[in-house]
Amino acid sequence: MPVSKELEQTNRTTMSRHSERGSYDRDVAYAILDEGMIAHVGFDAGNGVTVIPMTYARVDDSIVLHGAVASRWLGSFEGGQPVSVCVTLLDGLVLAQSAFSHSMNYRSVVLFGEASVVTDKDDKQRAFKAFLDHLVPGRWDDSRQPDARETEATVVLSVPIGEASVKIRSGPPKDAAKDLELGYWTGVIPLELTAGEPIADPAMNGDPAVPDYASGYKRGRGHN
């Protein structure tokens, strides 16, 4: 069934502050999710709300997460459990005339949904490929894929991307009119994730050439 181009707006995803920064455009959300690498996942672990940073990937219209079967908290997802997922990209520090008006430029997605355990072997394998290619595009085909033991030892969760919102701040400071003549330097310090020179594993067998996806690794808009 085709999904709506707009994300589902609910009481949980409706913004009470700076609603002008909000969006419910699915394509915008997907672009942010595809660029990010760490999601903060919130859920009820049985003794209160827990938030865990996790790697993730987008598979079509769902977010997939994974962890070890031995993890105690993953046992609570049998039969499904509601979760929140937040991904944030930091684009810059905003320096204003007033200390109170300093801010950050960012792009974020917050979504709510029912996390269910993926049990189909083919779907799990597809998720494993998505995890690796999300972090390093091209690496999946240049590595040994998970065997049966590794697959069985891993829990994969899937969360539909439906009830969600996007929030973006960009541009220069927004000082109050009374502060504009103070004379301090104001502006934006851009921030981006950059890759250093690849470092070879000393235990690596032989001397294979550094693959292009490692030597030319980039992360950011238009690079993944």
DSSP state of 92: E
- Would you state the pLDDT for residue 222? 58
Name the residue with higher pLDDT: 66 or 222.
66
Q: What is the mean pLDDT of the chain?
A: 91
Look at residue 107 and tell me whether its pLDDT is greater than 70. Answer: yes
User: What pLDDT, on the 0 to 100 scale, is given for residue 221?
Assistant: 73
Residue 224 pLDDT grade (very low, low, confident, very high; cuts 50, 70, 90): low
Determine the CATH number of domain 19-215. 2.30.110.10
Partners of residue 191 on adjacent β-strands: none
Residues 172 and 187 sit within 8 Å (Cβ to Cβ): yes
State residue 102 phi and psi, 5-degree precision: -65, 150
Mean pLDDT across 190-210:
94
What confidence tens digit (pLDDT) does each residue in 2-41 have? 667 899 999 999 888 888 888 999 999 999 999 999 999 9
Q: Look at residue 1 and tell me whether its pLDDT is greater than 60.
A: no
Q: Which residues are bridge partners to 187 per DSSP?
A: 95
Q: Domain locations in the chain?
A: 19-215
Q: In the prediction, which pLDDT does 188 show?
A: 98
Helix (H, G, I), strand (E, B) or coil at 122: helix
Q: Are 61 and 3 in contact (CB under 8 A)?
A: yes
Question: In this predicted model, what pLDDT tens digit does every residue of 153-190 receive, in sequence order?
Answer: 999 999 999 999 999 999 999 999 999 999 999 999 99
Check residue 70 and give its pLDDT.
67
Q: What is the three-class DSSP state of 27?
A: helix
Q: What's the token pair of residue 193? A: 């994730």
